[in-house]
Structure 1
Amino acid sequence: MRILLITHYYAPEFGAPQRRWSALIQRFVDAGHQVTVAAPVPHYPGGRPTPQQRHTHRVGAVERGDHGETVLRTAYLPHRSDIGTRTADHAVAAADSLRRLLCRFARTSTRPDVVIATAPAVPSLLVGRMLALRWRVPLVAEMRDAWPDLVTHVGPAGAVPEKLAPHTRPDPLRRAVGLAIGRAKKAVHRAVTSWQQGAQVVVTTTGRFAEVLRERGIDDPQVVRNGTDLAGVRAQLDHPRGHHRELRCLYLGNMGRSQGLETVVRAAARLRARGVPVQVRMIGHGVEAPALAALAHELGAPVQVLSRIPHSEVQEQYAWADTVVVSLRDWEPFAWTVPSKLYELLATRRHITALLDGEAAEVVREAGAGDVLAPQDEDALMTLWSRLAADRSLAAGRDSGRDWVAAHADDDVLAARYLGILEQVVAAGRGASGAPARP
């Protein structure tokens, strides 16, 4: 089977989409399939390639990936962290990938058997749809998490922002801009739903979002979770009794608006004021990292905000911790999502402090892997960490988390499921067209 993947994020970048596809493609190639990936020159998360990436990867280059896949490098647009320049980057990469793929697969005999387009970025879906129609091959639209809902989720038109006083009306210009943005987001939402409906299969990473897609008219969406390589995650042992006095709390991952990590900083500051020994480490990158560090300094919170570390150093941080934190804001689309990092945390055996709702909360409860609190519930977090600090046995390691991953979210299990979906859609497409099966 010849597989084409269109994605905006790919190795050697680090991140959830990159890790997912590296794991899947390794197993696809090992199973004897040919994989071509169309992806921009690496430039995540900084918006520009590093000097090494600029030297190694060129626009238009055809590279051999780490697993034997072919990688076609497309153009990109240097960007900042704001949604405007990032969306422009997505559009530039998508347009260039369309042009280059049409040239690369001009001959019918070389064309893929199936096209996979994955969001984010949303324009990749449009490119996948156009190519699949032109080549008359099946399209698999993969919606990582609740895309585009996480971007397009808006409140009632003209709603007054929370920061305004209750009796203050926004000025006309601000209201007009807000309404225009709301209309644009809704237009994007309608377009993406249309592209999804045009795919032969839509793959999502959670059962809750699959239900949402069914309600929107998507026929039989398939669920292939994010996951982790269970064999590659070390099971952490409990610390010896009396090893350290403070409760060690670790957050490892993105520090954006979505995570609501100011709740963690404020809770830690209040616990210190009450004499509860707590130490928090936040490690990663994101637009909110400077603000979190400033808040911790302002409040005198026992919180370190540290830069992103290589994956080779992650296990050392898990070994340091007593509990690991997963946090999302109380936004409706987050009830349909599961942070990809959660599966790795389950595999570590560490106690999980979960400020989550919806399917992610259900996973933690089902795995018996920690304590689930309402998102952004500062008081509940203080109560939990006070209990764990007083009785460290409550944060003891849990084998049940690794058992859950082995059954539901190990990379080998997920790749086999994904290949089964691809083989079915390709077989159905050939049957409908009457084309002979390729060897």
Structure 2
Amino acid sequence: MRILVLCHYWAPEVGAPQRRWQWLAQGLVERGHELAVLTPAPHYPVGVLLDDAAWLAPGAARRDAAGALVHRTAFRPYDAGLGGRGLDQAVAAVDALRIGLARFRGGMRPDVIIGSVPGLPTLPVALALGAALHCPVVAELRDAWPDILDSASQWSGAAAQGGGAGLSAPLSAAARRVTSVVVSAWQRRASAVVTTTDSFAAVLGQRGVGRVVTIRNTAAAVAPVPPVQVDKVDSRLRVLYLGTVGRAQGLVSAVRAARLAQDAGTPILLRVVGDGAELAAVQAEAERLAAPVEVLPPVPASQVAAHYTWADSVLVSLQDWPAMGLTVPSKLYEVLGVGRHVSGAVAGEAAQVISDSGGGSVVPPQDPAALAALWSVLARDRSRLRVLGAGRWLAAHASPEVMVSRYEALLQEVARG
């Protein structure tokens, strides 16, 4: 089967979409499928070209470590603002259409096209390319589109705090309504839709989207991490956040929780490792409150295990936006895989995964007092940091082999029509 993937994020960039497609691509190629990819030259998260190697430049095509033939498109440099990233995604999507029409006609025509979101402009371009090449399209939605638009006014506030500019409220409301209708129409045009959560799959099914399949994320490969020391009494509670410091994570709330825990007499240190649109806001709040928080830059995969070894508990945080209840952060699967206790400031399906797996504790999202209280309890009773059974839950519900098999079966079904 010949599969063409349109995706705005791809290795050697580092991030959740890139990790997801690394193991999916490798699994599909290992099963004998020919995988081609249309994706921009690597520029995430800073918005400028990360590597000037000729084989990563726009227009280049080369097989990557997973065995996929990666065709690089143009991109538009951007800063921290939402508008710049949207224009970048649009430029890359239009160039993907141009390259796709030029390179995948005739004998190179794919059996099925996948349009992967985030990178919302990717979806209509995938549908247009499918119509031009006469092949079916699968829409992959990593986020709860269009439901996430209900919280767009809060994106604007976050953007202003982080240095970007939002749309005016009336224009934003009108744009949200139109975009919601259009995105729903795109979803119904696709031959099938892939989501990463059962809860969002159910929502789409209720809206009349015909074929919806859940392909969960899975745990990234991390070097073995020793068990947490539950009998240690001579140091503060060490809490780690490792990942994207974006608007959807709402980490300013965690900074406030760390300060509240300290004020209550809990010895604690919150370590934030990563980068993103909200990094400046997190740093500013930590300085304003003199909170027990240290902020470190992103690290390569080879250094991730060292941070997990340092941690007593790992924070998984989301905003309290309604659509976030339909989301499970991919980082949660990684933390369950290494066996560290999860401090989950989440709701909905993510909270249910933590509960069902026995992987940690849950408090309401964006509630600094509740999170501070949890950390105080963990510091007093470190036996609660011991987690059991998370690995068994992952094997049963989110193993890479099962997820690749499910994706393969869906693509074969769609390709057969």
TM-score w.r.t. length of structure 1: 0.89
Are the equivalent residues in 2 in contact too, given 1:152–1:189 (CA < 8 A)? Answer: no
RMSD: 2.1
Give per-residue Cα distances to partners, 1:352-379, cap 9 Å, x unaligned. 1101100000000000111110111222
Shift of 1:216: 2.0
Determine the structure 2 residue equivalent to 1:134: 132
Q: How many residue pairs get matched?
A: 409
1:36-55 equivalence runs, <5 A: 36-50=36-50, 52-53=51-52, 55=54
Give per-residue Cα distances to partners, 1:397-434, cap 9 Å, x unaligned. x231111111111222211111111111112x2xxxxx
Are the equivalent residues in 1 in contact too, given 2:19–2:220 (CA < 8 A)? Answer: no
Are the equivalent residues in 2 in contact too, given 1:235–1:347 (CA < 8 A)? Answer: no
1:252-271 equivalence runs, <5 A: 252-271=242-261
Change (3 A) 1:233 1:363: farther
Equivalent in 384, 406, 410 of residue 421 of structure 1: 410
1:183-222 equivalence runs, <5 A: 183-222=174-213
Are the equivalent residues in 2 in contact too, given 1:118–1:141 (CA < 8 A)? Answer: yes
1:96-111 equivalence runs, <5 A: 96-107=95-106, 109-111=107-109
Determine the structure 2 residue equivalent to 1:394: 384
One-letter identity of the residue aligned with 2:403: L
CA distance in 1, matches of 2:399, 2:317: 22
Determine the structure 2 residue equivalent to 1:309: 299
Does 1:83 pair with 2:72? no
In structure 2, the residue corresponding to 1:254 is in which secondary structure? coil
One-letter identity of the residue aligned with 1:372: V
CA distance in 1, matches of 2:143, 2:392: 23
Change (3 A) 1:150 1:234: farther
CA distance in 1, matches of 2:274, 2:185: 35
Does 1:279 pair with 2:269? yes
Shift of 1:148: 3.6
CA distance in 1, matches of 2:183, 2:136: 17
Does 1:345 pair with 2:335? yes
CA distance in 2, matches of 1:153, 1:264: 20
Determine the structure 1 residue equivalent to 2:142: 144
Determine the structure 2 residue equivalent to 1:61: 60
CA distance in 1, matches of 2:133, 2:56: 28
> Which piece of structure 1 moves more, 337-346 or 286-295?
286-295
CA distance in 2, matches of 1:153, 1:288: 16
CA distance in 1, matches of 2:307, 2:56: 31
In structure 1, the residue corresponding to 2:173 is in which secondary structure? helix
One-letter identity of the residue aligned with 1:335: G
Change (3 A) 1:327 1:272: same
CA distance in 1, matches of 2:86, 2:146: 12
Are the equivalent residues in 1 in contact too, given 2:144–2:327 (CA < 8 A)? Answer: yes
Shift of 1:383: 1.7
CA distance in 2, matches of 1:177, 1:403: 48
1:165-244 equivalence runs, <5 A: 177-229=168-220, 232=222, 234-239=224-229, 241-242=231-232, 244=234
Determine the structure 1 residue equivalent to 2:163: none
Shift of 1:177: 3.1
In structure 2, the residue corresponding to 1:189 is in which secondary structure? helix
In structure 2, the residue corresponding to 1:236 is in which secondary structure? coil
CA distance in 1, matches of 2:201, 2:24: 20
Give per-residue Cα distances to partners, 1:118-168, cap 9 Å, x unaligned. 111111111111121222211111111213432454579xxxx99xxxxxx
Change (3 A) 1:56 1:133: closer
In structure 2, the residue corresponding to 1:285 is in which secondary structure? coil
> Which piece of structure 1 moves more, 87-96 or 54-63?
54-63
5+ residue gaps, structure 1: 163-175, 430-439
Determine the structure 2 residue equivalent to 1:405: 394
CA distance in 1, matches of 2:371, 2:139: 38
CA distance in 1, matches of 2:114, 2:99: 16
Shift of 1:270: 2.2
TM-score w.r.t. length of structure 2: 0.93
Are the equivalent residues in 2 in contact too, given 1:120–1:147 (CA < 8 A)? Answer: no
CA distance in 2, matches of 1:301, 1:110: 57
Percent sequence identity over matched residues? 43
CA distance in 2, matches of 1:304, 1:135: 51
Are the equivalent residues in 2 in contact too, given 1:233–1:347 (CA < 8 A)? Answer: no
> Which piece of structure 1 moves more, 62-71 or 236-245?
236-245
CA distance in 1, matches of 2:124, 2:237: 48
Determine the structure 2 residue equivalent to 1:123: 121
Give per-residue Cα distances to partners, 1:31-64, cap 9 Å, x unaligned. 01100000011110000112x3455511111111
Determine the structure 1 residue equivalent to 2:162: none
Are the equivalent residues in 2 in contact too, given 1:246–1:389 (CA < 8 A)? Answer: yes
Change (3 A) 1:128 1:10: same
Are the equivalent residues in 1 in contact too, given 2:219–2:335 (CA < 8 A)? Answer: no
Give per-residue Cα distances to partners, 1:165-188, cap 9 Å, x unaligned. xxxxxxxxxxx9311121112212
Give per-residue Cα distances to partners, 1:36-93, cap 9 Å, x unaligned. 000011110000112x345551111111111221111111111112111111111111
Are the equivalent residues in 2 in contact too, given 1:236–1:318 (CA < 8 A)? Answer: no
Does 1:247 pair with 2:237? yes
One-letter identity of the residue aligned with 2:89: H
